[in-house]
A and B are shown apart, each in its own frame.
Chain A
Amino acid sequence: MANIQQVTRRHAVVSETRHLLFSVMPGAVWILIFLVLPSLYLMAVAFMTNGAYGLPELPLSLDAFKQLAGFGFLGWSPGNLYTLLRSLWQTLVSTGLVVLVAYPIAYYITTCRTSLRPLMLLAVVVPSWTNQVIRAFGWMNLLAPGTPLSDAAQALGLIGDYMGLYPSNFAVTLGLVYNFLPFMVLPLYAAFEKLDVAQVQAAQDLYAAPVRAFWHAVFPQTLPGLLAGTVLVAIPAFGMYVIPELLGGGKGMMLGNLVANQFAGGSNWPLGAAGALLMLLATFVGLFAMRRIGKRLGGGEEVVI
């Protein structure tokens, strides 16, 4: 009796394993070959020497990382460091601005009629369905020299005569805010929608001033959404390629452009790979940090991407 059970159980385990292999393996193998392998190769490239035509060659070296820090044939130059700092700065500023715009918007949507809300969310999200190249092109049209916005900026003395608002660092910031706004509105809206109003009422009953009631009863409850939004905005913003390339001109370059130029121009693969490695590091550090903070807040699951 026991024997038969054992045999059938073993049979079940074998068929389960076969089943697992059949269902999961094709995808796992695909991702291993076409994603993990290329990523590992890219990591290896970062530690190789820059050879002819910019292709990586042995021996292994740390040249690429030295170059990324600014050490070239002609001694140290701050160019790459500026690019890195600009990426960090643009990420910080645009994420902050996105929060400032998205927070009231997300709150306002929750104050509207329930039947209206999906439509309002859709209105926020629809522009981001258009290709990002087209959206950046729209801003190029709006901010070019001779357009009303540029004329107004000239009249105010913000920019010189015959100049446009684009290309500039300002245009890049604007483009980033424009691009990432929906990614902040959606998680914040979800947080506002779940808001426990009893807590706010309790605060009011205890005669808390509106600001205090907001700070102690509303803000902490929206923190998980804010955190999720920050992950969704800051990480892709740091590696942005299209917006700085189109709206920033030569002086608005970010890390993504530095990396891409090393490959597209075919000039220096190891340097580009080193930059990509840095971006990857920033991504995982960011994700890890957010996860830790999210867990401490208790809303851990929402923050997991």
Chain B
Amino acid sequence: MKLSGNQTALAMKGKLDAQFDRKGVLIGLFSGGTWGINNVVLGIALTLVPALGDNAALYAIPLAAACMNDTLAGLWLLIYNGWAGRFQEIIRSLKTVPGLMVCVAALLGGPIANSGYLLGISMAGPAYALTITALYPVVGAILSRIFLKQHILPRVWAGMLLSVIGAIIISYVPPEGTTSENFYLGLMFASLAALGWGAEAVLAVFGMSMIDPKIAINIRELTSGLCIAIFILPFVGGWAVISQIVVLPETFGIFAVAGLAAGVSYLAWYTANSKCGVAKGMALNGTYVMWGVILSVVFMSAELTQNLVIGSMLVLIGATLVAINPKEFFQKGGVA
């Protein structure tokens, strides 16, 4: 890029660009932290759902939770966008092809990935499912290489490899006492989530060249919530679960708080993706594995196993390598 202008103006421009980069990275990290909060709060909400039998516990409850999480996040975002005077932007965006692309991204990320994610947690346990789903930056980077023709550096491939190794360390041995055929089915669902989210990010970033990320994420959450409600819940008995939850103010309230955390997290994720690109945005968001584990250990007395610690650290280091060039990071003392 060639820039022209006087020295002072060029220096001010350099400062503005550095601020913009730093903002993107901080927002990406914030999206990971709030997604970790969402995981924990949603976990608490799920423990308050009335017992509805084994079949409901396996499919209906996780899918109903996925639906409520996206729908409530979508409604919180609708309030936010309405307050900021962007309500009409949603309608305008839906009338354009990039807006419809965001809807398709929503289907990949919502009904497919989010359902897979919650089914994975339900069947294989959060420690294993969360770590597998954390591989989604790898999937996203590969898809962006294929479809967006993005060049992937050796450092990025190395980071991805570390993430995969970390995930294998955590998920290879099933937890004692809970081994079942559903465990492996849960791992498959978690893998589906990684695929769906990776594909979502690539498609959404493409759409966001022309659509505001704040609008894109609102469309995404509402499309996802509605599609799960209409096309999935009736077949798994999910509506029975929702009708039980909405009459329990405390339980519904906790779902609403989880939805708020999800809305904030997704808003930050889409904003980061739009500012610093798919690979960086996804990898920074991927730090939620670490936040999820820390929050579970601190607030929910979860057991901190050695495998979990080592695996999560490797996933985190890998994700960071994908996003940031350590040499440039330490040289500039800022963002690479």
The answer to whether A and B assemble together is no
Measuring CB to CB, which residues of chain B are less than 8 angstroms from any residue of chain A? Answer: none
